[in-house]
């Protein structure tokens, strides 16, 4: 079983996200990471993405709705019905909105809908910036009480400054809300070692390095999976930044270089995510 923990599909409001579409974006990404684009990255058709998933053996892809980029939960909801079992959707919320709006999203999309958790990207919200924003507390209290997973984009180069991705922020939220599973998209890169400490220390913190595994120091996430974080590291492509084919090739090559046992690679590529979402 392979589960891709970060996919922004050519569907619904994702088609209007200027950060993910257009030839300039695709050329920049394929040039940076040195790979040939897949058909779905050029034609923006769901049928092409499903074909790529099938060819790569990807059982399911997790979709974090990007609310600060115009993401619309209602536009993504039909995706789960069109392709049952192939997508795990995380409802997007803006931390800068009134907490009442976030709580209503949890009720309508997760507790009474087909979404499996909540996704936030505070680094893209003007005036918010951090996952420990005061508006987030009522949301986290509800997620904690209901044991609903939270996916937060935390790391890479989209943040205003390094202070906004201090691992101490995740550590304190995880301590305060121990029953809320926290999935760290981009895995807090470049604070690799410190984030590995947080994931090791806090039972509710998981790291999904996605394309950061190929960045400077990113291999250490997979090295940690060979020892202390066997059950905490999860594969992701960050599609359409990487194609699923290229991301899987990168992870498998790094695993081979590290001498990662096949049983551990199986956990990284899918079993850890399946366990978290009750799919195994």
Q: Structural domain of residue 231, as residue ranges?
A: 2-276
Predicted pLDDT at 241: 94
Domain count, the chain: 1
Predicted pLDDT at 99: 94
Report pTM.
0.96
Of 89, 50, 51, 57, nearest in space to 72 by CA: 89
Predicted pLDDT at 21: 74
pLDDT by residue, tens only, the chain of 280 residues: 999 999 999 999 999 887 787 778 889 899 988 999 999 999 999 999 999 999 999 999 999 999 998 999 999 999 999 999 999 999 999 999 999 999 999 999 999 999 999 999 999 988 888 999 999 999 999 999 999 999 999 999 888 889 999 999 999 999 999 999 999 999 999 999 999 999 999 999 999 999 999 999 999 999 999 999 999 999 999 999 999 999 999 999 999 999 999 999 999 999 999 999 999 7
CATH code, domain with 226? 3.20.20.140
Distance separating alpha carbons of residues 89 and 160, to the nearest angstrom: 27
Distance separating alpha carbons of residues 151 and 131, to the nearest angstrom: 10
Phi and psi angles of residue 142, each rounded to the nearest 5 degrees, phi first: -70, -45
Predicted pLDDT at 218: 95
Distance separating alpha carbons of residues 9 and 50, to the nearest angstrom: 10
């Amino acid at each position: 079983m392979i589960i891709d923990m970060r996919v922004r599909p050519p569907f619904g409001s994702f088609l209007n996200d200027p950060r993910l579409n257009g030839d300039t974006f695709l050329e920049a990404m394929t040039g940076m990471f040195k790979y040939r684009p897949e058909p779905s990255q050029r034609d923006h058709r769901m049928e092409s993405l499903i074909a790529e998933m099938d060819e790569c053996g990807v059982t399911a892809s997790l979709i974090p709705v990007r609310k600060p980029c115009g993401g619309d939960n209602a536009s993504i909801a039909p995706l789960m019905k069109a392709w049952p079992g192939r997508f795990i959707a995380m409802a997007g919320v803006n931390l800068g909105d009134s907490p009442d709006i976030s709580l209503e999203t949890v009720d309508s999309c997760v507790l009474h809908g087909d979404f499996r958790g909540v996704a936030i990207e505070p680094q893209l919200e003007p005036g918010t910036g951090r996952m420990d924003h005061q508006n987030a507390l009522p949301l986290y209290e509800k997620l904690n009480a209901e044991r609903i997973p939270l996916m937060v984009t935390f790391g890479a180069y989209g943040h205003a400054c390094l202070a906004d991705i201090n691992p101490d922020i995740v550590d304190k939220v995880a301590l305060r809300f121990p029953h809320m599973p926290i999935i760290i998209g981009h895995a807090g890169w470049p604070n690799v070692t410190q984030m590995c400490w947080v994931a090791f220390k806090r039972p509710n913190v998981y790291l999904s390095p996605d394309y950061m595994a190929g960045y400077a120091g990113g291999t250490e996430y997979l090295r940690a999976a060979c020892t202390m974080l066997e059950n905490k590291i999860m594969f992701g492509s960050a599609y359409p930044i990487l194609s699923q084919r290229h991301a899987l090739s990168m992870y498998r090559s790094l695993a081979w270089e590290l001498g990662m046992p096949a049983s551990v690679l199986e956990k990284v590529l899918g079993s850890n995510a399946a366990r978290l979402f009750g799919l195994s």
